Amino acid sequence: MPGGYKQGGLRDKYVVTKVDGSPVDPGAKYFVLRYDVDGDPYARKALREYGGLLFHVNPELATDIFAACHAEDTKRAEKMADAGDFDGLK
């Protein structure tokens, strides 16, 4: 099965559960984004867009999303600098 953002189409790939153990709607659809430094490079862009759209409804969540994305961007820059990849920081 092709994986990651570079191959394949939209498909069920994850089983979603709630952290508090409460039930999940069995008919619900979820889209999981891996936004950490080693994940999909487009995920943080998608999250930022979502945060921007959400800001007028829930500024606290939007701010948390922006902060989480910024933290991962910082990790990415540090990782690239450690590897000497200064062109990738542009």
Q: How far apart are CA 59 and CA 65, in angstroms?
A: 10
| C-alpha dist (Å) from residue 55 to 9, 26, 35, 46, 71 | 30, 29, 19, 14, 19
Mean pLDDT value across the chain:
89
75-84 pLDDT tens trace: 988 888 888 8
What pLDDT, on a 0 to 100 scale, did the predictor assign at position 83?
82
Domain boundaries of the chain, sorted by first residue:
1-90
Global pTM value: 0.78
Which one-letter amino acid corresponds to residue 27? G
Core vs surface per residue 49-62: b (16+ CB within 10 A) or e: eebeeeeeeeeeeb
34-57 pLDDT tens trace: 999 888 889 999 999 999 999 999
